Structure 1
Amino acid sequence: MKSFRKVLHFRLPSRRGLVNITKDVQKAIDDSGILEGLVLVNAMNITASVFINDDESGLHQDYETWLEGLAPEKPYSQYQHNGYEDNADAHLKRTIMGRETVVAVTDGQLDFGTWEQIFYFEFDGKRDKRVLIKIIGE
């Protein structure tokens, strides 16, 4: 069994942002030479998420509205965590959206269902963040 590791680096210009990283993940699979296996993609920061869904702008706005309703950024004073930092909402949003995703690799391709794409979602931007891509297989 072979394994391959790649790290993507992000520094988004706004507090929150959504990036389709599907092509980056497929490029890592291509570079790995692995044809059959699994790819793990995970956010390596506690205030960011990786997940799979449809790449549709209305849905992206729905995520923002829904998450802000569940864990509003302000007022900062509503959270016990906010003292040194003002990002308690980002921690909560990450918990809701999840840390990682795993996708089958078949014949060297992401083995997706219809419309599936991989996204990086940042909830506390303007800082350096990383996403790990780990591929195992043959």
Structure 2
Amino acid sequence: MKSYRKELWFNIPARRKIVRITEDVQKAIDESGIKEGLVLVNAMNITASVFINDDESGLHSDYERWLEKLAPEKPYSQYAHNGFEDNADAHLKRTVMGREVVCAVTNGKLDFGTWEQIFYYELDGKRSKHVLIKIIGE
């Protein structure tokens, strides 16, 4: 069995943003030479998420509104975590959206259902963060 590791780096200038990374993941699969296996894609920072869903702007706006209702950014004083940084809401939002995805690789391609795409979700931007791509297989 072979393995391949790659990192994607982000420095999102806004506090929150959804970025499609499907093509970046497929490029890593191409670079790996692995034709059959699994790919793990995970956010390496605790205020960012990786998830799979539809690339549809209305859905992305729905995420923003829904997550803001669940864990509003302000007032910062509502969270015990806030002190040095005012990002407790980002930690909570990440818990809801998840840390990683695992996808099948078949014939050297992401083995996806209709409309599935991989996204990086920055929840507390304005700093350098990264995503790990780890591919195993033959």
* TM bracket, shorter-chain basis: over 0.9
CA distance in 2, matches of 1:91, 1:13: 18
Residues 24-54 of structure 1, C-alpha deviations (whole Å, 9 max, x = no match): 0000000000000000000000000000000
Aligned residue runs from structure 1 range 115-130, under 5 A:
115-130=115-130
Unaligned runs of 5+ in 1: none
In the TM superposition, what is the alpha-carbon distance from 1:79 to its structure 2 partner? 0.1
CA distance in 2, matches of 1:76, 1:107: 48
Letter in 1 for 2:110: L
% identical aligned pairs: 81
TM-score, L = length of structure 2: 1.00
CA distance in 2, matches of 1:97, 1:90: 10
Task: Report the counterpart of residue 114 of structure 2 in structure 1.
Answer: 114
Letter in 2 for 1:112: F
Let me know the Cα RMSD of the aligned residues.
Answer: 0.2
Task: Report the counterpart of residue 48 of structure 2 in structure 1.
Answer: 48
In the TM superposition, what is the alpha-carbon distance from 1:133 to its structure 2 partner? 0.2
Are positions 1:99 and 2:127 aligned together?
A: no
CA distance in 1, matches of 2:51, 2:135: 17
SS at match of 1:24: helix
CA distance in 1, matches of 2:52, 2:24: 14
Residues 88-117 of structure 1, C-alpha deviations (whole Å, 9 max, x = no match): 000000000000000000000000011000
CA distance in 1, matches of 2:106, 2:28: 14
Task: Report the counterpart of residue 32 of structure 2 in structure 1.
Answer: 32
Task: Report the counterpart of residue 8 of structure 2 in structure 1.
Answer: 8
Letter in 2 for 1:48: A
Aligned residue runs from structure 1 range 37-76, under 5 A:
37-76=37-76
Dislocated runs of 4+, deviation >4 Å: none
SS at match of 2:82: coil
Task: Report the counterpart of residue 86 of structure 2 in structure 1.
Answer: 86
